[in-house]
Amino acid sequence: MSATPALTAPRRRGNTGIALSRRAGMVFVLPALILFAVFIAYPLFTALSYSFFGWTGILRGDFVGIENYVTLFTKLPYSEDIPNAFVHNILLFFGAMVFQNTVGLGLASLLHRLSRFKRFFQTMYTLPYLVSPLVIGYLWSLMLSPLFGPVNAVLRGIGLGELAQPWLGNPQTAIWVVVLVTAWQWIGFPVLLYGAALGGIPEEIDEAASLDGASAWQRFRSITLPMLVPAIGTVSVLTFIGAMEAFPIPYALGGSQGNPAGATDVLSLLFYRTAFESGSSNAIGTSSAIATLLFIFIFGISMLITMLLRRAERKLF
C-alpha cells in the first residue's frame, strides 16, 4: 500500500494557516487558564462549598446542606433584611436606567450635534465617574448635612426654605439620594457610550430620511433609536450589574447598617455586615450563602437580558 500524502498531513488545520498540535495549543492557553482557576474559579467554588457547612469562627464544622440558605429566608435579621435590601437594589437599577436612558441619551445626542467643545463637555460629564464612589458618597453626605451642608443653606438662601430637609435622615428621601447620586456619578458612562454609538450611525441614512420629509422626531424614533439598541443593551446589563453590586455609595451615605433605619440598605451592605461585623460564629457560612445567591442572581439575570436583547436586535436588522 502506498501512503497518500494527504493522510500524513496534519488533520487539524484551522483557517489561520498555522498548524499547532493540541498539546502546543494547551501550553499557550495554560497561563490564562491558571490565572482564571486560581483567582476566579477557586474562590468561586470555595465560597460555594463554604456555604454548605456550619462554621465555628474559622473552624469548619459539619456539612449542613442548604441550612445556611434556609436561614437567610427564615431567620431574623436576614428574613427582613434581604427583601428590604433587594427592593433597594432594584430601585437603584430602575433609577439609574431611567436617568441614563433619558438624561444620558439626551446629553449624548446634544453633544453629538456640537462641533466645538464636544470633547470638553464629554470630559466634564465623565469626571465624576473617574472619582472613587466612596469619595463621591462622602462629599454628598457633607453637602447634604442638615447642620453644615451647603444644599440646605442654598435652598434657604433663595427662599425655598420649606424644601430644606434632612435629606439623609428621612427614609423617604434617603434612598432617592442614593439613587440620584449613583446615577449622577455614572452619567458620563452612557454619554460616552451613546456618543460613540451615535457617531457610528451613517449620516447618509439620516439625510435620505430628511429629504423624504421625515421630521426630527421621526428620524430619531425610526433611525437613531433602533440603531442604538446594541448600545442600550450594553448599558442596561452593566447598569444592572452595577446596581446589584452597589456598595461604596450606599456605605458612604448610610453606613454599614443602611441608615436611617435600614432605608438605604443594599445586598452588598448586608453581606459586609454578615461577613465582617457579625456577632455570629457562623458568619462565614451565612455570608458565603449570601455571596453565592447574589452571584447566581446577577449572572442569571445578566444572561437573560443579553439573550433578550440579542433576539430584539435580530428582529430589527
* Identity of the residue, 183 or 289, whose beta carbon is nearer to other proteins in the bound complex: 289
Binding mask 240-269 for other proteins (x = CB under 8 A): -x---x--------xx-x-xxxx-------
Name 63's bridge partners: 53
306 touches other proteins (CB under 8 A): yes
Name 59's bridge partners: 56
Least distance in angstroms from the C-beta of 28 to other proteins: 20
Please, are residues 245 and 177 in contact by the beta-carbon 8 Å criterion?
no
Question: What CA–CA distance (Å, rounded) separates 232 from 190?
Answer: 9
Residue keyed to cell 434632612 = 166
CA atoms within 13 Å, Cβ hemisphere of 142: 5
Q: Interface with other proteins by CB under 8 A: which range of 2-10, 54-62, 88-96, 205-213?
A: 54-62
Name 53's bridge partners: 63
Hey, which residues between 115 and 154 contact other proteins (CB under 8 A)? Answer: 141, 144-148
DSSP E strand boundaries for the chain: 53-56, 59-63
50 touches other proteins (CB under 8 A): yes
167 touches other proteins (CB under 8 A): yes
* Binding residue (CB under 8 A) for other proteins from 27, 34, 40, 110: 40
* Identity of the residue, 93 or 219, whose beta carbon is nearer to other proteins in the bound complex: 93
Question: What CA–CA distance (Å, rounded) separates 182 from 196?
Answer: 22
84 touches other proteins (CB under 8 A): no
* Binding residue (CB under 8 A) for other proteins from 28, 94, 117, 276: 276
Question: What CA–CA distance (Å, rounded) separates 227 from 238?
Answer: 19
Question: What CA–CA distance (Å, rounded) separates 137 from 250?
Answer: 7
232 touches other proteins (CB under 8 A): no
Positive/negative CA dihedral, 126, 129, 130, 131: positive
Amino acid at 178: V
165 touches other proteins (CB under 8 A): yes
- All 3 cell numbers of residue 23? 498539546
93 touches other proteins (CB under 8 A): no
- Footprint on this chain of other proteins (rule: CB under 8 A): 39-40, 42-44, 46-47, 50, 56-60, 75-77, 141, 144-148, 165-171, 234, 237-238, 241, 245, 254-255, 257, 259-262, 271, 273-281, 283-284, 286-288, 291, 294-295, 298-299, 302, 306
